[in-house]
Chain A
């Protein structure tokens, strides 16, 4: 008997629980591990509440604090070790002293590659402030280690900013038309938290459908959906991040990235591209498997006709490295049309030899849109959402900084840092003349009941199974990537079934499963948004490709799609013209 087995026996009940949690059972009685009635209830007060502990959250907390606000940071994971931040290894810095391109030229270049889908104000803002943020990061030791917790902790500890980790926020709280806090529960202690805050900055990242091959399984659009639920406008759900994964051991994101997670971060300079779209998906759709990346030129033998449009200026792939961490894709298998695959991994490291990608499969980032093209709709350049006091930064903000296609390597990390800083400062300024809001007892009771409901269900469906079913519906290439109306509607029928019949029956036996239950709800809501927005957008552009509408429609679709919850609780849509801020217009009718 090994020590492990011995300890398993010693663990007794715990071990059994582990086994039980592994099973993906469709229907089973809910054997509770904790007593939901005995949960402790805690209240906290702060000026600015930062939700999320990644790059955006870091700068939001630091800059809110530096602007004089009492700041509290709360994260589902650990500072610098959750979301996508830990895996992003390239950060863009626009250095005016070494860059020939002016800020305006850079912004215009991005707009051309993004076919107008970017918000030039945010594009320019990212570049303008990037060097300052990079310099601060350097001071904190960010570039000295492959792991970010230490460098992120430095400014937080120096400033004595309150930090609560492993708290799952499930609800944003709005009363009298304004944000007044958030609620969540601890994963480790049996505690429910209510945070009263003058303003909230969502730094919750974007998300996916817990896809395999990408380290985003803790990102399930939580912030976006929480904000949507209290009436915020969100955007960008039709876009896709087209990262492929490897066919062998598709689930192993560490191995699929050939050691990149172990690299220390580096600074990227200007180089505008048109990346992470769905061209490989189109190639796989038309030609079938295997989609294998050969040496440069090898793929010319199998010409692909049609497919996503790439502006001529950006279709010639340079030989530059393509290594921005997961934010930019595995180095292999990313350049479908005669492009040069980047360097492979180190020799002998799980996969392809240098310069030769292995067989690729799609969907490794399924459910995620291009960085910063999805999330809360900003009403100005201060990362402010449509709800007073609610801000968002980084991938949680639909700023369209890069547009609906990825345009600058390392800009996602830089953009998160820049927007975090701006949102934090703006939230502090907003909070300056406000009082700590009061949250009514009825509201708190209502939220608590909703939050803990899966623990109270004696029968129902396990979140793991519902998520797996959702993945089966959404991830196929012919649903989420290579779209056509019939199949989008077919998938929508399934999603509506999950929404109407399965969400109300999600059960959880412990706090881990309670987290999964909430994540599952957020993913299902996101799936509905993605399908409906994709049906609405009857054109193809950037990372949205409709087989039945393959052309870019510059007459009707020079616009983003905003999504919001109507008075009747139904999902509503509106167009917001590119280059404009949201205005309350007539909602689009979804058929």
Chain B
């Protein structure tokens, strides 16, 4: 896949915001300084949809093998930020990115990075379960075939392992050839997670992965996140603050394109530093 939008020049050279958007000096930025080796390092990241600036000089680091939650009101830029981590925004016309997003210290917006390989390393699960209208088996095998795997035994083994990791194997092992659309919503979402896991990602991005699910299915996904925690670096966008507090190790609060505060989840939910964070998570606005 080619990168139709972002050039190396555009992301390394910070650009002034277009007229009418807020200057970066208007708000204090969250400046995290944490004692961990970041898997993902974001520096001075801004994103523009044409003339509209959606992210303002975001600085944050996400540790390996832990779960980072992004919270904030609708339109605050959390999904936009999430999509910068595997360059999903590239497919939107007129998107321009400045600043740095580095995974294992390699800038993913540099010309040397192949986007398809990047997305193999950085899997994504969306709000609405989106299985292909194919069999359960084929849904999970699809990514493997795309990335060139043709050995049937190897594919079968990986499909089983991925379904097991996604806590779905026991429910589908006798019906792998059935259409994935016959699964319940919660099962479909776990199938999508299995599909993402099959290609061996290091990072999983989840954009409100349980917002379309009932409480029981949500609990299963949350349990699954807990099981995956140590093997993957997970970034989850959620509107459900209880979910953020239950599942994540780190939380970033975003507002109007700014990262207002980033810190350990227990700190954010017990004694946040910023009043704006406190007002949001206690429901006083947003």
Q: Do A and B actually bind?
A: no
Residues of B within 8 A of A (CB): none
